[in-house]
Structure 1
């Protein structure tokens, strides 16, 4: 994935994704809109655009606004009821944004997503896209899970330079600063995995004042893997985004945050991000089923080969061509008592050229036998190597040999 360097020190046009959470949009008790926060955010976005930057806003809040409009005290439990509340709230939320942006002559565009919609989204020049998950139709199998994840995927999709995760604290702390006076701010993070050894995010709401810091770490992990520098900052002071972006263009990516920059946590983007299509296959697309492959196929795909039908043992789930599926290898172990156990090893994820019913017919077959089995042949292989994101590490492969 090709990215501009946000630290080059030159005046340049950046692509910035900003995720605004429900707690920054609605009062947690009354669900009344926090108009001061929203107004500051709108002013900040317009200012960023005047500086030549492209901005995408990922906004939560549809359900909160809907609850207020329907005079409901609590979020309902039934999916159909939640979808109805979101449908009511989404229109009113967009009306609020449109009213605020219109004061500054800035057009906006609403984009509602599920994982099936990702390939159809385009960035419009001159318009601020406002992205949200399509809660009115989403079901558990295709929803993103939370808007932190959605914002990370959106950031990867538009090749963003920065992803800002706006929350109700200034930055990430080693523990809840409201309860632990010894909690320290975390300024720069190079590895999210290592960070988890230093901070307390084990349960929702256990640290940093809100539930959801754990999901922000997941989002940061996703976004940095796509080459996007990710920042946690306070949602009630969105104007800090301008200062952070301006100052970070002149600092070393591994340095600590300068005292002249508003406090925040910065997650360093990976130097070797995954290629666009493979990143989307892995993180952005709904997993429609599972294909089990043999040991030879494991070695082949690890060496960047196509996946051929001959290496397929079985498949599970119902899917069609061009959907994303998970590749799994069953590793058999026999203990000293002669009892056999099976370990499922996830090899990767890819886009298939054949449906689940077709693969069930051609599994284990040579490419030359596909036409005989199906009566036609669309492709010599089931997954092309360019559409296959391999997760298996070298150590895992060695264990299989």
Structure 2
């Protein structure tokens, strides 16, 4: 069975009901401080940690004196604008007490649906982790409309996990796992320890486990599990209200683990390989050898560019004989790729007029 200690990169989803006291609308500072200590311990084991956190609307509505009933879109956006500052400040203080830099990342559904935005999000998260920061991801409720909303942070957390190439996702919830029925209504309901595949029978068991401050329910958690496991990421649902919830999970607290269907990097490369290419780049023999050894594709090794493609599009890579070696997602559009082919890194900025975006294709974005 999956265990937290094995995670190389871990995404933790934190719901509004865990962060914000429903009665007072105040931040649960003691709980957040304990979570920060969990993060410190994970990072000491060289585990990358990303937090996906609700709470901005719940914090902001109290400050603005908005009712606890359903808010209009405009009221929600106003509450988010006020609450987001407080939420970011709370995480900054909790993690900063341990010398850890917190980074705010606000996203919408468009950021994962659009390939170019997806690549931008992935690159940003990767760079933040490389620099030692802990990304705090939340939906950009101040600008998101119904058409571009995730609508719940369970599914957003799963998408973030897949985007970041995480191997584990933990949903800290107000329930301690996935049950055969709603345990609050059915005393015979049984919790699953492990779910290896999401079958129609499992789907039929999903009821509504939402709380007053959150929009997530067991159905959305099951949808999150489907996204995460299909992307090669194990996912756990566990009780989050206790202090040090990650430590509690490590020490055997009840949970349900949904097991990944493969490795996240393998899944990503299979996704890239299945795309229809929008162009082709030809590489010299040296670049072909470097690619075979697992290197990124640098403009210096490119001898030809064909097709009309934009940044983030899938493009074939072929050798001098025309044999297709594989394909990847390009970091430059076709006109710029033509302009920089054969150039060394230090020669690119004078030609393009802006700093280079690194390799033409990064090795993580290629399938060979």
Find the counterpart in structure 1 of residue 259 from structure 2: 268
Q: TM-score, normalised by structure 1?
A: 0.60
Q: How many residues align?
A: 273
Compute the displacement of 1:307 (Å).
9.0
Given that 2:233 and 2:263 are in contact with CA atoms closer than 8 Å, whether structure 1 keeps it comes out as no
Structure 1 residue aligned with 2:222: 217
SS of the residue 1:82 aligns to = helix
The one of 126, 129, 137 aligned to 2:135: 129
Map of 1:60-209 to 2, 5 A cutoff?
A: 60-74=54-68, 77-114=71-108, 115-116=110-111, 117-121=117-121, 122=124, 123=126, 124=128, 125=130, 126-196=132-202, 199-201=205-207, 203=208, 205=210
Matching residue within 13, 16, 28 for 1:34 = 28
2:47 alignment counterpart: 53
1:84/1:105 Cα in 2 relative to 1: closer, same or farther (>3 Å)? same
Counterpart of 1:233 in structure 2 is 238
Q: Which of 16, 31, 51 is matched with 2:10 structurally?
A: 16
Cα deviation for residue 215 of structure 1 reads 0.4
The alignment partner of 2:236 has SS state of strand
Give the Å deviation of 1:277. Answer: 6.8
| Offset, 1:193 | 2.7
How large is the RMSD of aligned CA atoms in angstroms? 3.5
Query: Partners of 1:234 and 1:131 in 2: how far apart?
Result: 21
Aligned-partner SS, 2:169 = strand
Give unpaired runs (5+ residues) of structure 2: 112-116, 280-308, 314-329, 331-364
Instruction: Find the aligned partners of 1:238 and 1:227 in 2 and give their Cα distance.
Output: 29
TM-score, with length taken from structure 2: 0.65
1:304-363 Cα offsets, whole Å, 9 max, x none, are: 87699xxxxxxxxxxx97799xxxxxxxxxxxxxxxxxxxxxxxxxx9xxxxxxxxxxxx
Q: Is the 8 A contact 2:34 2:243 kept in 1?
A: yes
Provide closer, same or farther for how the CA distance between residues 210 and 13 of structure 1 changes in structure 2, counting only shifts above 3 A: closer
**Distance in 2 of aligned mates of 1:62 and 1:36:** 18
Closer/same/farther in 2, CA of residues 197 and 75 from structure 1, 3 Å limit: closer
Is this contact kept in 2: 1:6–1:14, CA < 8 A? no
User: CA 1:158 to 1:198, structure 2 compared with 1: closer, same or farther past 3 Å?
Assistant: same
Structure (1 or 2) with the larger CA radius of gyration: 1
Q: Structure 2: how far apart are the matches of 1:280 and 1:62?
A: 35
Alpha carbons of structure 1 residues 222 and 280: separation in structure 2 relative to 1, 3 Å: farther
| Matched-pair contact (CA < 8 Å) for 1:155–1:223 | yes
Alignment of 1:298-377 (within 5 A): none
Distance 2:272 2:21 in 1: 35
For the residue of structure 1 that corresponds to 2:37, the secondary structure is helix
Distance apart, 1:103 and its partner CA: 1.7
Deviation string, structure 1 residues 5-47 (Cα, Å, up to 9, x no partner) = 977x9x8761000000111111234322222321221111111
